[in-house]
Amino acid sequence: MSAAPDSDLRPVVAEVVRGTPTEEELAAAIVVVSEAYVREVAEATAPDDAPRSRWELSARGLRTPLNRAAGWNGFTG
């Protein structure tokens, strides 16, 4: 597994639901799946300097939350 040295490595847990694989087969499956996971995570991260789209630049912000404590008496017209 080619994990970064600064990442915390957790033990791998595998549950066999059918069949009786040997220890070598199970170890090989864990290595293949772990390597595929590490590769997918590395490729799936977005770059830090992702430019904002025109939609994001023109979209207005969300309104302020409603003051639910005021109730109907807080209506001033």
Is 5 contained in some domain?
no
How is residue 27 written in tokens?
A: 């170890």
**Within a domain: residue 44?**
yes
Residue 72 domain-assigned (yes or no): no
pLDDT confidence of residue 73: 66
- Measured distance CA(54)–CA(60) in Å, rounded: 12
Helix (H) or strand (E) holding 63: none
Give the model confidence (pLDDT) of 3-13 as tens digits: 555 556 677 67
Contact 15, 33 (CB under 8 A): no
Q: How many domains does the chain have?
A: 1
Amino acid letter at 31?
A: V
pTM of the shown model: 0.43
pLDDT in tens, 36-71: 988 988 888 777 777 888 888 877 777 777 777 777
Backbone Cα Rg of the chain: 25
The per-residue pLDDT for 74 is 56
- Domain assignment present for residue 37? The answer is yes
**Residue-wise pLDDT tens digits, 31-45:** 999 899 889 888 887
Question: The domain containing residue 27 runs over which residues?
Answer: 11-60
